[in-house]
Amino acid sequence: MKIMKRASWRRAAWLLLAAALCAPSLTGCAAKGVAAYQRENLADPIMAFQTRAKKDARRVRALEAREGSTGGIGGEGGGCACK
């Protein structure tokens, strides 16, 4: 696989995050979104990011000792519309 040039991957990373923040406005998803009563599947353990958070952290730590890179696990919750 061709490796992207470093400058272009950095641009891509920032664009990726900016797209995540602005995508709802651009796509119109925010106008309606996913209602609270539609979120049962999203809260299921096989869907929630939090389910594997600790396991993923352990795996990243183990792989850091085996490979030259790190990361990919940051972030908190969200999604259930539960308050």
Partner 1 sequence: MTRTQPGIIPRVVLLAACAAALAAGSPARAGDAVAAYSAANGSAEATLGRHTLRMLDGSSTTLAEMRGQVVVVNFWATWCAPCRRELPRLDALHREIRTQGARVVAVSIDQNADNARRFARAGRLSMPVAHDGPEGLARELDLRHVPATVVLDRDGRIAWSTGRSDDAELAKLESVVRRLLGAVPVVADDPNGGGR
Partner 2 sequence: MGRGLVAVLLGVCAASPSAAQATGDPAAVNGLFRLFVDSKHVLVRSLVQDYSMPVAGDVNLTLHWNNEHVTIPGVSAPVGSPEAIDAITTASRPISGDAYQDYEKVRNELEGQVTRGPVAVGYYYSMESDYVGQQVSATYNRDLRDDQLNLSFGTSWGWDDILPLENQRSTTAASTKNTLHWNAVATQLLSPTSVVRFGVEYNHVSGLQHNPYRLVYAGGTTVPERHPDSRERRDAFVKFHQYLSNRSSLQFDYRIYDDDWGVLSHEIAGGLSQYVTRGFYARYQYRWYRQSSANFWSDDYTTTQGIDGYLTGDYRMSPLSSHLFGLSLNADLSVLAPDSPTLRRFALTFDYERYFNNENYSADILETGVEFRF
Instruction: Tell me how long the chain is.
Output: 83
Q: Nearest Cα to 43, choosing from 82, 6, 74? A: 82
* Residue 68 φ/ψ, nearest 5 degrees: -90, 5
Contact 81, 36 (CB under 8 A): yes
Q: State in angstroms the smallest separation of the CB of 79 from partner 1.
A: 11
| Options 26, 28, 49, 53; binder of partner 2; rule CB under 8 A | 49
Per-residue DSSP letter, 52: G
The footprint of partner 2 on this chain (CB under 8 A) covers a number of residues equal to: 56
Footprint on this chain of partner 2 (rule: CB under 8 A): 1, 3-4, 6, 9-10, 12-14, 16-17, 19-21, 23-24, 29-30, 33-34, 36, 38-39, 41-42, 44-47, 49, 54-55, 58-59, 61-72, 74-83
